[in-house]
Amino acid sequence: MNNMLLSIVIPAYNAERFLHNLLSVLVEQVFECKKHSIEVIIVNDGSQDSTKKIAEDFSNKYPFITVINQENKGECGARNTGIKCAKGKYLYFLDSDDTIPVGTLAFFQQLLLGSNDIDVFNFGYEVERNGQVCKIVSSAQLDKRHFNDNSIKKNFLSKKMPCCICSSIYKKDFIYDNDLFFPVGIKIGGDLVFMVNAFTKSNSAYYSKRICFIYQIRDDSVMQGYKSYNMDRIKSFEIVRDTIIDNAEYYSLVKKEANFFIANLYLANLVAYLKSNVKDKEINKIFIQNKFFLYKSIKGRFINRMAILVARCVPLRLLLKIFK
Is 212 a domain residue? no
pLDDT for the residue numbered 286: 94
Query: Domain containing 79 — which CATH number?
Result: 3.90.550.10
Calpha distance 116→96 (Å, rounded) = 29
Q: Strand 204-217 vs strand 120-129: parallel, antiparallel, or unpaired?
A: parallel
Identify the three-state secondary structure at position 185.
coil
| Whether pLDDT at 318 is above 90 | no
Domain of 286 in residue numbering reads as 223-323
pLDDT value, residue 220? 56
Domain count, the chain: 2
167, HSE (Cβ side, Cα atoms, 13 Å): 25
Phi, psi of 315 (to 5 degrees): -75, 95
pTM metric for this prediction: 0.91
131-172 pLDDT per residue, tens? 889 999 999 999 999 998 788 889 999 999 988 999 999 999
Confirm whether 134 is domain-assigned: no
Asked if 183 and 229 sit in the same domain, the reply is no
pLDDT of amino acid 248: 66
The answer to whether residues 46 and 87 belong to one domain is: yes
Q: With bands split at pLDDT 50, 70 and 90, how would you rate the model's confidence at 200?
A: confident
Is 70:81 a contact under the CB 8 Å cutoff? Answer: yes
Q: Which residues contact 10 (CB under 8 A, 6 or more apart)?
A: 19, 22, 40, 41, 42, 43, 82, 93, 94, 95, 96
What was the pLDDT predicted at 226? 42
pLDDT at position 227: 54
CB neighbour class for 253 (10 Å; exposed up to 12, middle 13-18, buried from 19):
middle
**Is residue 184 in some structural domain?**
yes
Q: Is residue 74 part of a domain?
A: yes
Higher pLDDT, 265 or 130: 265
Average pLDDT of the segment spanning 62-85: 96
Same domain as 241, residue 172:
no
Closest among 234, 244, 236, 207 to 118, alpha carbons compared: 207
Taking residues 203-222, report their average pLDDT.
85
User: What does the pLDDT read at residue 167?
Assistant: 96
CA distance 84 to 319: 46
302 and 174 part of one domain? no
pLDDT at 307 over 80: yes
Give the DSSP per-residue string, 105-157. HHHHHHHHHT-SS-SEEEEEEEEEETTEEEEEE--STTTTEEEETHHHHHHHH
Where residue 324 falls among pLDDT bands split at 50, 70, 90?
low
Q: Are residues 232 and 287 in the same domain?
A: yes
The residue among 152 and 8 whose pLDDT is bigger is: 8
In a shared domain, residues 77 and 180: yes
Q: What is the pLDDT of residues 174-199, one digit of tens each?
A: 999 999 999 988 888 899 999 999 99
Same domain? 56 vs 177:
yes
β-pair type (38-45, 65-70): parallel
* Shared domain check, 168 and 260: no
Q: What is the pLDDT confidence band of residue 243, given thresholds at 50, 70 and 90?
A: confident
Q: Are residues 67 and 177 in the same domain?
A: yes
The reply to whether 315 falls in a domain is yes
Residues 236 and 170 occupy one common structural domain? no
Altogether, the residues listed in the chain come to a count of 324
User: What pLDDT digit, counting tens, does each position of 214-228 carry?
Assistant: 998 876 543 344 457
Q: Is residue 102 part of a domain?
A: yes
Mean pLDDT of the chain: 91
Q: What is the pLDDT of residues 102-118, one digit of tens each?
A: 999 999 999 999 888 89
Q: Which residues touch 221 (CB under 8 Å, ≥6 apart)?
A: none
Same domain, 105 and 63: yes
